[in-house]
Amino acid sequence: MTSISIQKNNVRFFKPLKSFTVSGKEVGFATQYDLKNDKTGKSKTFNFFESTGSEWDVNTLWIYKSDDGFILNVTNSDVTEQQRQNYFDAKTR
C-alpha cells in the first residue's frame, strides 16, 4: 500500500462529493492508497475502483473508493507527450 499525506502531497478535498484529488505527479500508481492527515494522525484506505480512460490519456482519472463512501481521484498528469506518442506509434504500426 502506498501512503499519501494530505499536507505534503497537495491533496484537494471537495466536501459535497466527499472526494479527494491528487496529481499523479505527486504519487506513484498503486492499487491501494492510505490517505493520511498528518495533523490529526487519522488515515483512510482507498482501493482501486476504475479509470475513466487510457493510461496514456492525460485527462484520465484513476478512481479509488473507501469502505465508508469517500472517493480519491488520482489525475494522470504525469503522462508526457513523448510517452503518448510512443504508445500511439506502437499501436499504429
**Reported pTM:** 0.86
Q: Looking at the predicted structure, is the pLDDT value of residue 18 above 80?
A: yes
User: Residue 18 sits in which domain range?
Assistant: 2-91
Rounded Cα distance, 90 and 19, in Å: 36
Strand intervals (E) in the chain: 2-5, 12-14, 19-22, 32-36, 43-51, 61-65, 71-75
- Please write the tens of the pLDDT for every residue from 43-89: 999 999 999 998 888 889 999 999 999 999 999 877 777 777 887 78
Number of domains composing the chain: 1
